[in-house]
Structure 1
Amino acid sequence: MSEATTGQTGEASGSAISGSAVPGTGERRPAGAVSVRAADQQYADLVSGLNQRYIATPESIRIVNSTQQVVEVVQEAVDAGKRLAVRSSGHCYEDFVHHPSVQIILDMSGMHDISYDRRLNAIAVESGATNLKTYQTIYPEWGVVVPTGFCYSVAMGGHVSGGAWGPLCRMHGLVVDHLYAVEVVVVDARGRARAVIATRDEKDPHRDLWWAHTGGGGGNFGVVTRYWFRSPGAKGHDPRELLPKPPAELLVGAVSWAWSELSREEFSKLAHNYATWHVDNAAPDNPHRALISQLVLNHRSAGQIGMLVLVDASVPDAEQMLTGYLKQINDGISVEQGAMSTHMGDLPALPQFAAPRRLPWLQAIRMLGTTNPTLNDPTLRAEYKSSFMRADFPEHQLTALYEHLTRDDIDNPNVGVQLTSYGGRINAVAPGATASAHRGAAFKMLWQAFWNDPADDETYVNWARECYGEVYADTGGVPVPNEVTDGCYVNYPDIDLSDPRFNTSSVPWHDLYYKQNYARLQQAKQKWDPRNVFRHGQSIELPEA
């Protein structure tokens, strides 16, 4: 499959039964997807992802390594009327891939090539490439980055299509703010599968397909096979100048506060301080956009509340910026900060950074992304919920957080709420310029509950539901877009948002994810997936006739 396009049609050319070309290499790939069925030894390893609450029983898993193979598998599923789901790396928080109704899982892990595409003058990344592979390929070779996320094993296919937060977001925006083009295998009204390349060029007749993949979520319009990245305004044809350069070094700090010493008032003050700093420093050109932070409000059984801080060490006052930040976070708190000596949420234990240290950029990102034992646990079961915050916490929200994080009927250090920096250059982009509409948020929140025993499912799912529902009790149990909250992050999907038992607001799930962009996403759905081939529990709905 060539990465070229044919004229103005935007349809990818070069499909060949004998094989297909790997972009930028001249290498040929074999024709025909690998088919794994229940009788095959490896089947059990391929029917679940990160969250072991969801295990599928498909007729087959098809492992592809070319766009042509994707077209063939999709066409086969359409012709046979079989339910198809697409997996890049298996990190979906819900059962959108590993669902009992799925008959064919299309596994994209074999498509992980990364190269410079001279014809599109952009860096091409196939959808099965993981965050770590993307960083470790692009940065050493060209000194630039696609500013993706922390977790090493998240793949680009679903990550990018949901907007894609990353640790460089306050400096360089979301990943989709650098997306130039996308190749998608779609199915038309006649049931014909084909590959289409869509770009952000204003005159591209398929620009709406590109736009839909800048935050419209995975599994909605077709199968993403490849992305091309080039920052807006990039000049020339040197790949070293097409994307942002990360800091040569990061200043890394990690601190904690002992739960046993924190009063209720100090807990609230700690969260208030975090929120206030981020609200005050959310503007696109704020000089403190060189700093990002994650505050992990663990359940009291963890023993600590922890915080990671990263600062671009190349800014002249990096040390002072970090010191000033920690001073503001500790304002009004008598508990002395200490080392972060236990892993928290998706962060590893980092006791060696109680005193900040400088690390080369790639070393720091690799360490933070790969060293957490929770995310490498093959027995992991989990529940997640999310919100975007525009303002400081109202007091009733902190009261609810404190009460649920100190409950005596829970004894699990892997339960908590993670607060993560947002704003900065993310907020320089208009809400409708991409499908990622949350361009006024200061920070985002992630409820995480991890456990291993299926017998505990009800306990921890209920904990998350009760905590979340009480935090947002005044807006129907969900963070409706208003002056304080701003909806939910589609890359942290939560099926409860669709359930009237848990969302009693007048705001439907799709407006929590997409806000005013949903109607436009529906139009893209109608154009590119009129038969609703690509669907799951919260997929974009076809507009009503």
Structure 2
Amino acid sequence: MSQRLDDSELTERIDDLRAAFRGEILRPDDEGYEEVRSVWNGMIDRRPAVITRATGTADVVAAVDFAREAGLELSIHGGGHNAAGNAVTDGGLMLDLSPMDGVFVDPAARTAWVGGGATLGDIDSETQLFDLAAPLGVVSETGVAGLTLNGGYGHLSREFGLAADNVVSAQVVTADGAVRIASEDTNEDLFWAIRGGGGNFGVVTAFQFRLHDIGPEVYGFFPWFHGDDARTVLEGFREWTEDAPRHASAIPFVAHVPELEEFPEAAWGEPAVALLGAYRGDDFSQAPVVYEPILERATPLADLSGPMNFVDLQSMLDEDYPDGMRYYWKSIFVAEASDEVFDIMVEYNESAPSDLSTVDLWHLGGAVADRPQDATAFYHRDKPFMVTFEANWEDPEDDDANIEWAREGFAALESLDIASGRYGNFPGFADDPATMLFGDNYERLVDVKTEYDPENLFRLNQNIAPRGWEEGGDS
């Protein structure tokens, strides 16, 4: 790896870069720097030496070459929603892809090309013009790139697979500055690796997604129950999963009743259990029948379910996760939705220092599990459930209490024999070994990393180190 330039050399080189770079280049004293360096998680406060805002692939090549040759740590900002804050670096180069947010739909081919800086909302807005959708996540302001590179679960996963499973091809700028197309027929090893291997192998400047018939309306499933009914509702959910149709989804989570007019005022702030999902059958009147094993268990405090536009379903949670709030999220897979899992969820919900925090139980399987574990880099396809501790709070003085709460709850889950693995999109502070994400796929990923990024330029992630690389060294 190149030796880092001193400040005067760096300034001179940046002046040279400006001549070839079409997008905006920001230094710490420039107007707009403070806004652009900020990311979704308000806990993250890092100051890059330089920010390059790419307008196209040529800009990305120039920025990658510059970071490599100047010996600068490189971070990639797509949507900026990674809870670990990997989109921004201290003292290095932040490559901001957010201006590259174009979405181009081919309704005849049922595909869409999507820029590396696009959000889920950008895709949904364009694809829904043709009643099509890509299987993505559940918050519309999430960046497509980070979500997809780490797998990508959402409302459509059990029917159509992970976001990564629906990538047909991608344009990737690798560490040497080369532009490569990755697909089943071209650079097949790179294509395998970027579908679940995170941002370890290059900058994806564009994805081509396979689209599916969705919308314009779906039936949104969103009942809330009092915390006293949590265990019985969760038991109903477990029963429902035994033969749940793939075109119906449900994610139960324990929370606290929000202070909103839709909920009884007497219950505001009290523990609750809710489920968020979607039914996509032809007859929406059948949705309550499909969800009956859950709904028959207790009377909801409020039921926000009903027909809605798909884009509204996708953005329903946006206001719950605003920019600048403080987040610490961590997840683990479980082999069953056991009574012990339910007990931990209820116990830690009641002890949460923030009423904004939740513990979520994702129902997986379906189309995700149809593929072999080595079909792509994403390994944990065989797991039927995932539990996520979402610590969400506002006051910096509460950082330690909320992080400790999430870590203690996570440790309780991890102690169960049925718990294993990690999910790259809910990484804590990326403090777990990459082997926990990639399992038996790890050694093949090391081979791909060694071929395409032997100096580990792309290391601000759940890092897969190339063979022979030592942190802090020149090899």
TM-score where L is the length of structure 2: 0.86
Letter in 2 for 1:385: K
Shift of 1:55: 1.3
Letter in 2 for 1:375: Y
Counterpart Cα distance in 2 of 1:111 and 1:303: 42
Letter in 2 for 1:329: I
Shift of 1:490: 0.9
Pair 1:151 & 2:139 matched: yes
1:365 alignment partner in structure 2: 314
* Aligned with 1:162 (options 147, 150, 154): 150
2:95 alignment partner in structure 1: 106
* Aligned with 1:229 (options 209, 231, 235): 209
Counterpart Cα distance in 2 of 1:392 and 1:121: 36
Give CA deviations for 1:20-66 in whole Å, capped at 9, x if unaligned: xxxxxxxxxx9523111111221111222111111111111110011
Pair 1:311 & 2:279 matched: yes
Unpaired segments ≥5 residues, structure 2: 1-19, 258-268, 470-475
Letter in 2 for 1:362: V
Shift of 1:329: 2.3
Shift of 1:448: 0.7
1:386 alignment partner in structure 2: 331
| Distance of aligned partners of 1:442 and 1:319 in 2 relative to their CA distance in 1, 3 Å threshold | farther
1:322 alignment partner in structure 2: 288
Counterpart Cα distance in 2 of 1:180 and 1:77: 29
2:266 alignment partner in structure 1: none
Query: Helix, strand or coil for the counterpart of 2:467?
Result: coil
Shift of 1:436: 1.6
Counterpart Cα distance in 2 of 1:199 and 1:411: 46
Shift of 1:138: 2.1
Query: Helix, strand or coil for the counterpart of 1:136?
Result: helix
Counterpart Cα distance in 2 of 1:147 and 1:97: 23
1:272 alignment partner in structure 2: 235
1:207 alignment partner in structure 2: 188
Pair 1:291 & 2:279 matched: no
Give CA deviations for 1:358-412 in whole Å, capped at 9, x if unaligned: 223334434x254x2x32243x01111112233131x4443333332222xx442
Letter in 2 for 1:177: D
Pair 1:405 & 2:333 matched: no
| Distance of aligned partners of 1:166 and 1:533 in 2 relative to their CA distance in 1, 3 Å threshold | same
Give CA deviations for 1:290-344 in whole Å, capped at 9, x if unaligned: 1101212125844422222310141x5x53453342x32256x5x522205xxxx
Letter in 1 for 2:308: L
| Pairing 1:130-529 to 2, within 5 Å after superposition | 130-140=119-129, 142-187=130-175, 192-201=176-185, 204=186, 206-218=187-199, 220-230=200-210, 243-259=211-227, 262=228, 266-278=229-241, 280-281=242-243, 288-298=245-255, 301-314=269-282, 316=283, 318-325=284-291, 327-329=292-294, 333=297, 335-339=298-302, 353=304, 356-366=305-315, 368-370=316-318, 372=319, 374-378=320-324, 380-393=325-338, 395-407=339-351, 410-474=352-416, 484-495=418-429, 497-498=431-432, 509-529=433-453
Letter in 1 for 2:251: Q
2:61 alignment partner in structure 1: 71
Query: Helix, strand or coil for the counterpart of 1:289?
Result: coil
Shift of 1:492: 1.2
Shift of 1:174: 1.3
Unpaired segments ≥5 residues, structure 1: 1-29, 231-242, 341-352, 476-483, 499-508
Report sequence identity in percent. Answer: 25
| Distance of aligned partners of 1:117 and 1:274 in 2 relative to their CA distance in 1, 3 Å threshold | closer
Q: Confirm or deny: 8 A CA contact 1:249 1:313 kept in the other structure.
A: no
Shift of 1:166: 2.1
Letter in 2 for 1:359: M
Q: Confirm or deny: 8 A CA contact 2:198 2:461 kept in the other structure.
A: no
TM-score where L is the length of structure 1: 0.75
| Distance of aligned partners of 1:48 and 1:486 in 2 relative to their CA distance in 1, 3 Å threshold | same
2:261 alignment partner in structure 1: none
Counterpart Cα distance in 2 of 1:275 and 1:495: 31
| Distance of aligned partners of 1:107 and 1:420 in 2 relative to their CA distance in 1, 3 Å threshold | same
- RMSD of the TM alignment (CA)? 2.6
Q: Confirm or deny: 8 A CA contact 1:114 1:124 kept in the other structure.
A: yes
Counterpart Cα distance in 1 of 2:92 and 2:236: 49
Q: Confirm or deny: 8 A CA contact 1:164 1:176 kept in the other structure.
A: yes
Query: Helix, strand or coil for the counterpart of 1:133?
Result: helix
Paired positions, count: 440
| Distance of aligned partners of 1:199 and 1:253 in 2 relative to their CA distance in 1, 3 Å threshold | closer
Give CA deviations for 1:162-207 in whole Å, capped at 9, x if unaligned: 11112111221112222111111112xxxx4221111112xx3x11
Query: Helix, strand or coil for the counterpart of 2:337?
Result: coil
Query: Helix, strand or coil for the counterpart of 2:222?
Result: strand
Q: Confirm or deny: 8 A CA contact 1:55 1:99 kept in the other structure.
A: no
Query: Helix, strand or coil for the counterpart of 1:165?
Result: coil
Counterpart Cα distance in 1 of 2:314 and 2:86: 29
Shift of 1:450: 1.1
Shift of 1:116: 5.0
Counterpart Cα distance in 1 of 2:195 and 2:422: 16
Counterpart Cα distance in 2 of 1:472 and 1:329: 27
